Amino acid sequence: MKRISLSVAVAISVALCLGCRRTPNATIAPPNDCTPVYDSNLVAKQIKENDDRQLFAAFEELPLYAMPGCVDEAYSLTWIPSFHAPVLVRIWRSGNRYFMVGKELDSKGWSKFGKLKETNARALTAFEWRDWTDSLNRASYWTMPSTVNDLSPNDGAVWLIDGLRAKEYHWVSRRVPDDQFGELAKHLIRLSGLETAHALYLP
């Protein structure tokens, strides 16, 4: 009987101790959420030669190829229009869990990146993820050339979709997206829930 009482007392003491460590507004992150965290030192070490460190600093995001090991697959849209706010939309998979973050800056164009104006983040459903990967397969994304000799408009936008899958990294950049590439970009913007002027920059 004494053993039972002692066990109960210990359990209550542990519970009370754990409770007193938490601040009133503290939130406990769900296990295995695999949320990448921006780290300027990590970016400095891993950034590729032609990538813009200031871009990642402005969006407070890691390059896709520097995502943590818990990320099994990831895709990102970086959209930099001439006369509207830059946007980054990223989705990723960790096991059978799926996530999305969409961000918009308060600046315009490439000349000087501003600060974060809006951020949307949420979990994706399995259906949303499968719908996206089906779109990738239809567009043959992984065999798209990274660049093409398209006629760049004087005032347009840069569209970059990069992907990471089974440690394979691929990027596709366009100034004038064709229908397939444009549909992929629009798909990611829809998932983000951000209000953008992207339709003005598509043919």
Q: In this structure, is residue 178 part of a structural domain?
A: yes
**pLDDT, tens digit only, all 203 positions of the chain:** 433 333 333 333 333 333 333 333 333 333 456 889 999 999 999 999 888 999 999 999 999 999 999 999 999 999 999 999 999 999 999 999 999 999 999 998 777 899 999 999 999 999 999 999 999 999 999 999 999 987 665 678 999 999 999 989 999 999 989 999 999 999 999 999 999 999 999 87
Q: In this structure, is residue 10 part of a structural domain?
A: no
Q: In this structure, is residue 62 part of a structural domain?
A: yes
Q: In this structure, is residue 137 part of a structural domain?
A: yes
Q: In this structure, is residue 9 part of a structural domain?
A: no
Instruction: Return d(Cα 39, Cα 130) in angstroms, integer.
Output: 30
Q: In this structure, is residue 6 part of a structural domain?
A: no
Per-residue pLDDT at 32? 54
Per-residue pLDDT at 54? 92
Quick one: which of 160, 85, 90 has its CA closest to 116?
85
What's the structural domain count of the chain?
A: 1
Which CATH number is 89's domain given?
A: 3.30.1560
Q: In this structure, is residue 23 part of a structural domain?
A: no
Per-residue pLDDT at 9? 36
Beta strands in the chain (DSSP E): 73-81, 87-94, 97-105, 116-124, 157-165, 168-174
Q: In this structure, is residue 115 part of a structural domain?
A: yes
Per-residue pLDDT at 15? 35
Residue 45: domain span: 36-201
Per-residue pLDDT at 154? 64
